[in-house]
Structure 1
Amino acid sequence: MAEALISVLLEQLASIIHQQVQQQVKLVVDVKKEVANLNDNFRAIKAVLKDAEERQVKEDSVKQWLDKLRDVSNEMEDVLDDWNTEILRLQIEKQEKGGNTLDTTKKKVCLCIPAAFFCSGQVSRVIFRRDIAINIKDLNERLATIAKMRQDFNFQYTKGGTEHIERQKTTSFVDQTFGRVDEKELLVGKLLSESNPEVQSPLVIPIVGMGGIGKTTLSQLAYNDEKVKANFKIRIWVCVSDPFDELNIAKAIIVALDGNVNSLSNDLEAFFQCVHKSIEGKKFLLVLDDVWNQDYKKWEQLKLPLQNGAVGSKIIVTTRKEEVARMMGAPDNTINLKVLSDENCWSLFARIAFTNRNQDECKTLEPIGKEIVKKCKGLPLVAKTLGGLMLCKKTKKEWQDVLSSEIWELHTMEQQVFQPLLLSYYDLTPMIKRCLLYCVTFPKDHVIKKKVLIELWMSQGFIGSVENKEKTMIDIGESYFDDLVMRSFFQNFKEDKFGNIKQCQMHDIVHDFLQYLTENECLIVEFKGGEERIELPNKLGHLTIMFAPEGRFPLSFDHCQRLRTITTFNCKITSLSRELILQSKCVRTLNLSRNDIEEVPDEVGVLVHLRYLDLSENERLQKLPDSLCNLVNLQTLRVDWCQELEKLPEAMGKLISLQHLYAKGCRRLKKLPDKKLPEAMGKLTSLQHLHAQGVSGLRLPKSIARLKSLRTLDLESVVIEGSGDEEGLRLSDLRDLDELQGELEIKLVGELKESAASDAEKAKLVNKKHLLHLRLWFYRGERDQSSIQEAVLNALQPNSNLESLEIEGYGGSTLYYPNWTSSLINLKSLTFSRCDVWKYVPLSVLGYLGSLETLRFEGMEQVKKVGFEYSLDHQVILFPNLKQLQFFEMREWEEWDHDENDATSSSPTCFMPRLSTLSITYCKKLKTLPDFLPRKTPLLQNLIIRLCDILSQSCKDRQGPEWSKISHIPNITIGWKTVQKDGVWIEQED
């Protein structure tokens, strides 16, 4: 970790020297010489750091030397950051005085003093800068001593620094079922077996085994088995971990049952009563993953309300402890998971390590690989980790070096599984090492959101400078994340609707490993009730607080001078003291989300190093102090779901480093008289991402159009004033925002004026080549605006790179699809929603979109026919890559319109050859299925027909007039009807 920090400091010092030469300005008195000395000392130390960081595991003296180096380096980073902050403040002052905006895109640190500064009479600042010079000199003396001490250890020198490993295009998303086929069948058999009515339900099935052996994976395989899903309509997964919290488990069960926990007090009895009632008479499968607690009273208390479920309900419990399985009273049903055989370990390892290698390479490396696999000791996690490591190794020598590593000789490690993790850790670049270690600030089993994680890395300075102007720090962070994914440090991935990873988790063993490496720097404090006095280490860098009770912030930081991170999870903190803020002056990351904070003290403005501030889900928070705008280094501000927050500070233009602003679900923002964000936001020249979903009626100021660096506009309601409102953002104001990327939603609100089409053309969506996902929403007013809407839609032609398009509320009647549809050669997903004027849907017009994979029509309430005009006199493939075709809530739809002759003859037209899923939901008047299903969709695997009364009857009991068309499809779901229960209409299987 020291290696990465020193790399950053060397980069900063290089910037200082660059500024001196480039701008011909004088440094603070006596600093020029110190900068040169610092540069020499850091470079001398950096040359031995790779060897030192590997030796610290087994040599305590080396570890102490590295600790001293980290202390000095951290202090130096703070000093340089102080100076950079002063430079930013000068830029803001010049802006406010009407001067030209200074370039804020230069290197991070500039230790120069503008000549004009000395004419300003600001004596206090001169003193402050002289203090910086004194601190640099003092730190340099300490650093020189440390640099000299390195000679006592006979370190191996690294020439040219640490080599950056070339990232592979593929990752280690592999099937983890190697060697677990028998265990899976055993578990599924237990789940599907009929329960003895005389035995108390639910039946508990414990899975016991050591960490990393695959208990959770086995449970997931059974949980997602099709037969199991068919047998248990209610399935609930709860990560338990330690401590065993019955209240949180009960909450998770209620939420999984689509219950609302907000109406319940935090009384345990109330939650148990709710669980008891929610599962009454229902057969359920509950997984309690990673249970440690052996307190029978707690288990019995939780089990009692679960006994109200139907006979046949089952509970899977995964645990490392035999005592837990016995305590739960299920010795006969326990599955003791054994280690994998060498053969199965090899299969898992080779599947990853030999990705994208030719046969000759595999044959050469296989003997070494099989010796490496013997080090796995039968643990799947280790096999995956080593596979990810060897994927990056190209030569036979590199493979042999891993096999011969001294790491395998360590016997003092807390767990043997740490050995391969250490190998993978040491193989990372210095920057990525820091990023990985920071993940220990999350609790075990925490769901880590990728975007949040990258912003946290940025806040700590873990992402280096961006040399490629086409890339941002977020882009670099994503490459770091991908590297860690490839090496199996993350697992349990979830993707967004576009197939990109949005969240993940860490295995417990990986978390333990990171805690081992950061034991003196990172600390997780858990409050367990009652008065607790906790002493924090003086050199603590990152603090995580869990389960803090209602009241004031529970800790003091008066001894923690270098605290960089304060983050809370599952806490109920209501207030922050002035003293607490003043004790946290070095903090870069402050996460106080999901508390009950009512007010942020004005003193928050002194946290000049702060880069990341998260106040999300503090529902009582009504305002942010104006002093917040003094945080000139702030990069990320999150106030999502602060539902009482009324406005953002007017002076936000001072936050010239702000890149990410999140204000989702701040519903009271819409109650302001003008419903507009501050006009000063136009000065946020660094802003790249603006998120405010769930803020209905929010208006964007025209000044937003000046933010040419803006990449994301993720807003819920009024994105564009379609009426041409002079005060709000117009379509034409998007013309210069060519860096927009990801997803954009344009909502045209109010009745469109004649000028709307001209504005739409000026928006130049066709130039926004990074925009991949577009949603266009048209307002349906009282007047007929079909011709204007057609003109506007045609003018909003996107770039051909677009991957998904959704059009909602479109009222054009003579033109069904925009005239630029055929240009979307990369379009994968297309949705039409609430286009109520349409009475007919011509499908074949879209058949030439060669990349299209998903096509959906939703809420088209006037449509009576859907047309398949596919009869042609030449060979053609329509919808060549379409995999999913969906129809939802088309209440008047009665029939398919197609050429009957073509449906029965040998047509040269190939139609939807790759269609795998056809879904028809809530189309009550539809009478038939299309005739092309038996002949032209050979890959069709899934047919879903729900809430389609007439069509369901035509296929009922595997007979009827329509059954012959679909009898060849493997997976068919037919049924579901709406019934009234307790005064509410709900869906129920037919």
Structure 2
Amino acid sequence: MADVLVSKVLEELTSIVAREIEQEVRLVVGVKKEVQMLTTKFQLIKGVLVDAENRQVKDDAVKLWMRELKNISYDMDDVLDEWTTAIQKSQIMGDERVSAENKRKVRCLICFSCFRCREVGVRRDIAVKIKDLNARLDIIVDQQHAFNFVSFQKETKQVERFTTTSFIDVAEVKGRDQEQKAIMKKLLTESSQTPSLHIISIVGMGGIGKTTLAKLVYNDDEVKTHFETRIWVCVSDPFDEIKIAKAILESLTNEAPNLHELQTILQNIRKSLEGKKFLLILDDVWEENSAKWIQLKDCLKCGSPGSRILVTTRKEIVASAIGCIDIHKIGQLSAEDSWFLFSQIAFFGWSSGEREPLEHIGRKIASRCKGLPLAVKTLGSLLVTKKSKSEWQTIMDSEVWELENAEVDIFPHLWLSYNDLSPPLRQCFSYCAIFPKDHLMEKRKLIELWMAHGYIKETTKKDMETIGEEYFQNLASRSFFQDINIDDNFYDISYTCKMHDIVHDFAQYIRRDECFSMEVSSSVESSMESVSNEARYSRIVLAGKGSLPAQFEGGFVVTAVLSSFFNELTCLRSLDLSNRHIEEIPPTISQLIHLRQLDLSSNDHLKSLPETLCELYNLQTLNVYGCRNLAKLPDGVRKLVNLRHLHIRGTGPILMSKEIRKLSFLRTLEWVQVFYDREAFSLGDLESLNLLQGLLMLSGLANVDDMDEAKKAQLKKKKGINRMRLAFNGKEREGRIRHDEELLEVLEPHANLETLGIHGYEGSVFPDWIMSLLNLKRVYLTRFKNCEKLPPLGKLPFLESLVLEEMERLKKLGVEFLGIETSSQQEISSSVTVFPKLTTLGLGPLKELEEWDDGMNKNGEENVTNFTILPCLCSLYIWHCPKLKLEALPDYLLQKMPAFQGCLTKEERREKAKQILHL
């Protein structure tokens, strides 16, 4: 971690000096020279960090040196952030001053003089801190020379890589029977559809048992009979094409080839394999550059049909790069199989009398391994010589990363995966140590936290959110995250995940002495005293499950408690006070000048936010989701110039300042309530917010009076918005039908839109732009008073879900709804697929719906050839449609659905539909 911290400080030192020059902002005389000295020293230190990282494992003095270096790096990060904030504040206050001069020149001059005095004080304070850090770094440099560190180019800790072979004692393996059968089925099943080179991969985290599973398959008697030739090659890293090719050839000829040219080696492989059905195992593959595999793959296409390549890897991207047809994600051992494996090792050679008293605690220890065979074996081996209950209890109570054998037996496997990460990804992964085990992490919040701690750097081509998304997917594909779940409730799509306990232990091991986590269940003062001085990442949970401390009166966090926290934890980058029954945020929150992420969500009793919150110039995320009584945002919200995410849904009718339009970095503004108030935020204020992403919900659209103002919103330019809900609720007015039609026409979104919901629309027609949204996947139309016809939604090529609710005048779903174009009343002219991707269709309540025109002529025959309707439909929901009779439903609607697949005739389908649809 030290190399990452030092690199970050060097980058910040360079950028802040450049910014100071560019923006003509000075702090105090001499600071620039101090910064240059700091930069030189950090550069010298950076060159020896690889040697220092390796030596600290066995040398306690080096370990202390590394710890102090990290502390200085963190302190330097804080000071540089304070410097940046001071420059930013100076600019904002200057802009405020210019704006105010025209109003009250005399008063503004006095206020500005006071500000200048305060600013000089801040500048001097920063200068003193930088000089102090320079002095501390001098000691580090002197000690560096004394240690005689060696400079290395490569910046990763070298971990011994294991060379695997195909040999295995099958009797010792437990719990892989089903997975072995699944892999063998893929290997042995042949079909005319199988490509010439069928590649299968086993993917999973280090220590999960990928190699073991591959060995079971490789040594199976049926596999031995099926394939003429079997080859086992341990690939590992770094990737060496000639070395791999030589290993394959040596396995085929039983002789070490004395060849050096790849061309010659591949020719010999081709000669040996041509016309043979072979199985090649490539174990422990890391190389993800597909170009490096091309020549070897082309050579291996010489085998007879049925040949297979089986790859084991930790990374899904590797499987894709090689060209895998099937990816098998290996699972964890069951609790019973874990216990069986553990007891075989831990109780080896024990008598039943020695074993029996420890079985109960042994089962608990085995369960802690969460199905990771490597951890089960390691802990079992650790305990085989320990026969007292106290020794077993000590192991049970310890964190895995605290055990002596962890670094030797478990963590090397994880070090390999960790070292394969880029420095920013290492920070993102190890940061997760701050959460408790089995914690459900939400992807969006996790990315916002990574941003808050500076792990994600924006580029000219990608913003931080996009890079954060890539980081998350990268870590997930390498099995650092598991149990990834997608919660899709139409407008909101949230991703959650967990970390395997052993992976979490490894993250804690990396961040040891840096992370601090506690629940406040006593006085705040004593809680603050227990925070380690070296802890740089603190997770403090207020009012835990136990009894509440005195400061939490009646379950509510009082202002004095928060003030105490704000005074003590001034270096916070992120602060989560969600669902804490908070009634008031104290003005002293302005002391948290480093704060990037503030979560105040689900505090029902919070009615207002202090104006001093707007002095948090570094704030990137403000979450007030679900604060139902929050009436307005602070007037000075324009000062939050770095705000990117404003989570404001579920707050009730909150009055938003027009000043939000000045937040040019804003990516998230999920909800805009349109008030009948010209001083409040309006649709026109969206004009400058072209970086908005994700969900946008516009409510109170009936209150819009000025169509020209609505046009300024220019939703069509906001290509990042992929989900939108338009709610036409608001005041009653004359000419409502025409008003809603004109407004809906104006609110045309970008063609990237994937989800569209329209609520409370009182117009009678749809705008043409709906059919130009070719990327639409979900459409939800509800509470339409006057629409009698629907647009040709059947033409939308990617529409997956369609819900029609409370459409008061909709009587018929006709051929125009399906998107069938007719040249006359009797003839359907085109040959197309209608609703080609639709899987879910919901209808109801539709009190007037009585007919579904299915395009049949009077004789019940289709007027079209090669015509397909709803080929992917899986779910059909029809409720509260009193006039719709079962006979009105076209048979193709039932024919395509899985629930009716067993019904061979139209009559059988109708009978079953009576039971399912209640029509």
Smaller-chain TM-score bracket: 0.5 to 0.7
Show the counterpart of 1:556. Answer: 528
Deviations 1:507-527 (A, max 9, x none): 11111112222332224xxxx
Q: How much does 1:94 deviate?
A: 2.7
Counterpart residue number, 1:821: 770
130, 143, 146: which one aligns with 2:140: 146
Secondary structure in structure 2 of the residue aligned to 1:555: helix
1:164-205 CA-partner distances (Å, limit 9, x unpaired): xxxxxxxxxxxxx994537999xxxxxxxxxxxxxxxxxxxx
Find the residue that maps to 2:451 and give its secondary structure.
helix
Q: How many Å separate the matches in 2 of 1:556 and 1:696? A: 36
1:976 Cα shift?
8.6
AA partner of residue 602 (structure 2): W
Percent of aligned pairs with the same amino acid: 34
Is residue 774 of structure 1 aligned with residue 747 of structure 2?
no
Look up the match of 2:435: 442
The answer to whether the Cα contact below 8 Å between 1:47 and 1:161 also exists between their aligned partners in 2 is no
Change (3 A) 1:385 1:913: same
| One of 524, 537, 557 as aligned partner of 1:597 | 557
8 Å CA contact 2:482–2:498 kept in 1: the answer is yes
Q: Radius of gyration: which is bigger?
A: 2
Q: 1:727 to 1:30 in 2, by over 3 A?
A: closer
- Paired with 2:151 and 2:595, the residues of 1 have a C-alpha distance of 38
Superposition deviation, residue 632 in structure 1? 3.9
> Match of 1:667, SS?
coil
Structure 1 residue 806: Cα displacement: 0.8
2:518 aligned with 1:545: yes
1:941-990 Cα distance to aligned partner (Å, 9 max, x none): 3579xxxxxxxxxx9xx7996534698xxxx995498xxxxxxxxxxxx9
Note if 1:856 corresponds to 2:803.
Answer: yes
CA distance in 2, matches of 1:86, 1:735: 30
The amino acid that maps onto 1:342 is K
Alpha-carbon contact 2:625-2:650 (below 8 Å) kept? yes
TM superposition shift of 1:360? 12
Aligned to 1:745: 697
Match of 1:874 in 2: 830
Question: Residues of 2 paired with 1:550 and 1:117: CA distance?
Answer: 43
Q: Which runs of 5+ in 2 are unaligned?
A: 102-109, 158-173, 183-204, 221-231, 252-279, 287-310, 324-377, 379-402, 821-826
Deviation of 1:459 (Å): 2.9
8 A Cα contact 2:13 2:80, kept in partner: no
Structure 2 residue 492 is matched with structure 1 residue 493 = no
Match of 1:692 in 2: 648
Question: Which is further off, 455-464 or 821-830?
Answer: 455-464
Are the equivalent residues in 2 in contact too, given 1:385–1:488 (CA < 8 A)? no
- Separation in 2, partners of 1:362, 1:784: 77
Larger helix fraction of residues: 2
Q: Secondary structure at the match of 2:518?
A: strand
The answer to whether 1:736 aligns with 2:688 is yes
Partner of 1:812: 763
Deviations 1:256-300 (A, max 9, x none): xxxxxxxxxxxxxxxxxxxxxxxxxxxxxxxxxxxxxxxxxxxxx
Q: Deviation at 1:596?
A: 4.1
Match of 1:467 in 2: 459
| Distance (Å, rounded) in 1 between the aligned partners of 2:556 and 2:218 | 49
Aligned to 1:530: none
SS at 2:629's partner residue?
helix
| Conserved? CA contact 1:885–1:915, under 8 Å | no
What's the offset of the Cα at 1:911?
Answer: 3.2
Letter matched to residue 778 of structure 2: S
Distance 2:317 2:763 in 1: 56
Q: CA deviation at 1:488?
A: 1.0
Alignment of 1:628-667 (within 5 A): 628-667=589-628
Q: Deviations over 1:562-604 (max 9, x none)?
A: 4433323484386798xxxxxxxxxxxxxx9x97413254456
**Counterpart residue number, 1:612:** 574
User: Deviations 1:187-232 (Å, cap 9, x if unpaired)?
Assistant: xxxxxxxxxxxxxxxxxxxxxxxx99889x9xxxxxxxxxxxxxxx
Cα distance change, pair 806–94 in 1 and its aligned pair in 2 (3 A): same
The 1:23–1:896 alpha-carbon spacing in structure 2 relative to 1, beyond 3 Å, is: closer
Equivalent position SS for 1:793: helix
Distance 1:916 1:750, change over 3 A: closer
SS in structure 1 at match of 2:11: helix
Task: Name the structure 1 match of 2:794.
Answer: 847
Equivalent in the alignment of 2:779: 830
Matches of 2:713 and 2:175 in 1, distance apart?
A: 53
Distance 1:127 1:697, change over 3 A: closer
Q: 2:565, 2:246 → 1: CA distance?
A: 60
Pair 1:342 & 2:215 matched:
yes
Residue in structure 2 matched with residue 885 of structure 1 by the alignment: 841
SS of residue matched to 1:812: coil
Separation in 2, partners of 1:129, 1:805: 51
SS at match of 1:736: coil
Contact 1:914–1:937 (CA under 8 A) maintained in structure 2 = no
2:416 corresponds in structure 1 to 423
Q: Distance in 2 between matches of 1:857 and 1:69?
A: 62
Quickly say closer, same or farther: Cα 1:82–1:760, change in 2 above 3 A: closer
Report the equivalent of 2:47.
Answer: 47
Query: 1:11 maps to what in 2?
Result: 11
Whether 1:897 and 2:853 are equivalent positions in the alignment is: yes
Unpaired stretches in structure 1, ≥5 consecutive residues: 102-115, 164-176, 186-210, 218-337, 375-382, 396-407, 524-543, 578-591, 671-675, 945-954, 978-989
Find the aligned partners of 2:815 and 2:29 in 1 and give their Cα distance. Answer: 81
Shift of 1:777: 0.9
| Partner SS, residue 898 of structure 1 | coil
Pick aligned residue for 2:748 from 791, 797, 800: 797
**Aligned residues of 1:891 and 1:922 also touching (Cα < 8 A):** no
> CA separation of 1:713/1:363 partners in 2, compared to 1, >3 Å: closer, same or farther?
farther
SS at match of 2:864: coil
Shift of 1:161: 6.4
Residue 469 of structure 2 aligns with which residue?
478
Contact map agreement 2:623 2:647 (CA 8 A) in 1: yes
Note if contact 1:872-1:908 (Cα within 8 Å) is conserved in structure 2: no
Cα gap change, 1:428 to 1:472, in 2 (>3 Å): same
1:19 Cα shift? Answer: 4.5
Secondary structure of the residue that 2:646 maps to in structure 1? strand
Which amino acid in structure 2 is aligned with residue 894 of structure 1? Answer: E
> What amino acid is the match of 2:178?
V
Does the 8 Å CA contact 2:754/2:777 hold for their aligned counterparts?
Answer: yes
Equivalent-residue separation in structure 2 for 1:25 and 1:751 (angstroms): 46
Select 1:372's aligned residue among 275, 284, 293.
284
| 449-458 vs 676-685, which moves further | 676-685
| Residues 854 and 884, structure 1, Cα contact 8 Å, conserved in 2 | yes
Once the 2 structures are TM-superposed, how far is the Cα of residue 896 of structure 1 from its aligned partner?
1.5
CA contact (8 A) 1:878 1:909 kept: no
Does the C-alpha gap of structure 1 residues 742 and 943 become closer, same or farther in structure 2, counting only changes over 3 Å? farther
Q: Are residues 58 and 895 of structure 1, via their aligned partners in 2, closer, same or farther at CA, if it must alter by over 3 Å? A: farther
Say which SS state the counterpart of residue 623 (structure 1) adopts: coil
| CA spacing shift, 1:77–1:346, aligned 2, 3 Å | farther
Amino acid at match of 2:728: F
SS at match of 1:34: helix
Q: 1:27-46 residue pairs with structure 2 within 5 A?
A: 28-46=28-46
Q: How many residues align?
A: 706
User: What is the alpha-carbon distance in structure 2 between the residues aligned to residue 614 and residue 682 of structure 1?
Assistant: 23
Structure 2: distance between partners of 1:690 and 1:940: 42
| Structure 2 SS opposite 1:63 | helix
Is the alpha carbon distance of 1:90 and 1:891 closer, same or farther for their aligned partners in structure 2, counting shifts above 3 Å? same
Counterparts of 1:974 and 1:68 in 2: how far apart (Å)?
Answer: 73
Indicate the residue corresponding to 1:535 in structure 2: none
User: 2:810, 2:245 → 1: CA distance?
Assistant: 61
**Matched position secondary structure for 2:575:** strand
| Structure 2 partner of 1:451 | 444
Per-residue CA distance 1:683-724 (angstroms, 9 max, x = gap): 332222222222222222222233332222223xx6223x5x
Answer whether contact 2:81 2:594 (CA < 8 A) is retained.
no
Q: Which amino acid aligns with 1:386?
A: R
The amino acid that maps onto 1:793 is L
Deviations 1:612-662 (A, max 9, x none): 22221112x211122324544332222111111111123444333222221
Q: 1:785 aligns with which of 736, 753, 756?
A: 736
